[in-house]
Amino acid sequence: MNHNELTVILYFLKAGYSTRKLDKKLGFSSAKSKGWKSWEILKKYNLTNDDKGKLFIYTEQQSKKIIKEIPKLNNPGIIDILITANRPKNIEKYKDSFLLTDSEISLERILSGETRNIIRNFFLPQKRIIGKCQYKNCNQTKLDTCHYKNSRPEIFKLSANKFKKDLNGLYMFDLYKIFKDFLYSHSKNKSICFLCKEHHNELGKKEKESKSSFNLYIKNIEW
């Protein structure tokens, strides 16, 4: 597997890029050939469109390690086999960990620092891929990870609600399942964007002003 192949598969499996977006990102031109060049690479390693984004929750380092195993067991469905054999290391510390409290709100307050840190570290590779502020005509490269539809606390509380057990008025929360769902929730289309500090602050201001003001502002975010 050469560098271009590794890059295509990494962006496809972790960043969830389409073949069209991959070709554009890597400078391939579909006009010079039939179809998308990146698609030929994915077919070579028995990857299908259903596999897109399957390594989203994994770190860039672990994703690359898994991808390098694909040629050794080159057959359909290989990525599912490798995922089963390799649990995501970035949430491994939460395995078999539970927290007892009275609500999702309390849990989010207790783990607010954890959720902030894991999101900051998790999206560092994505920031490198995006490269510059996604606000139209802005070329700033120092980026914030901005929650677009729901805030980080809101997303975490929704995940927490799925994995709790009622114990006579208190709830036992399964931290591993919650953090896994929390990270995967960020794979939804337009759940986050990357903006410079100035445009991140403006986004927050527009959101507080009015819905129409917010909607007008986000039209200038390039996805």
Q: Are 221 and 161 in contact (CB under 8 A)?
A: no
pLDDT of 138 higher than 90: yes
Confidence of residue 158 (pLDDT cuts 50, 70, 90): very high
Cα 204 from chain centroid (whole Å): 21
What distance in Å separates the CA atoms of residue 59 and residue 65, rounded to the nearest whole number? 10
pLDDT of 107 higher than 80: yes
pLDDT of 34 higher than 60: no
Type of residue numbered 5: E
Same structural domain, 119 and 67: no
Cα distance from N-terminal residue to C-terminal residue, the chain: 29
Q: What is the largest CA-CA distance in the chain?
A: 66
pLDDT of 133 higher than 70: yes
What pLDDT score was predicted for residue 32? 52
What pLDDT score was predicted for residue 23? 79
What pLDDT score was predicted for residue 35? 52
What distance in Å separates the CA atoms of residue 88 and residue 61, rounded to the nearest whole number? 11
Share of the chain above pLDDT 90, in %: 41
DSSP state of 34: S
Confirm whether 145 is domain-assigned: yes
Same structural domain, 104 and 137: yes
- Other Cβ atoms less than 10 A from the Cβ of 78: the count is 19
Q: Which of 86, 105, 129 is the last residue of a domain?
A: 86
Write phi, then psi, for 183 (nearest 5 degrees): -70, -45
Q: What pTM did the predictor assign? A: 0.78
Same structural domain, 106 and 162: yes
Considering only residues 127 and 93, tell me which one the structure prediction assigns the higher pLDDT. 93
Type of residue numbered 25: K
pLDDT of 30 higher than 80: no
Give the count of domains, the chain.
2
Task: Please give the residue range of the domain that contains residue 108.
Answer: 91-218
Q: Which of 86, 119, 154 is the last residue of a domain?
A: 86
What pLDDT score was predicted for residue 76? 80
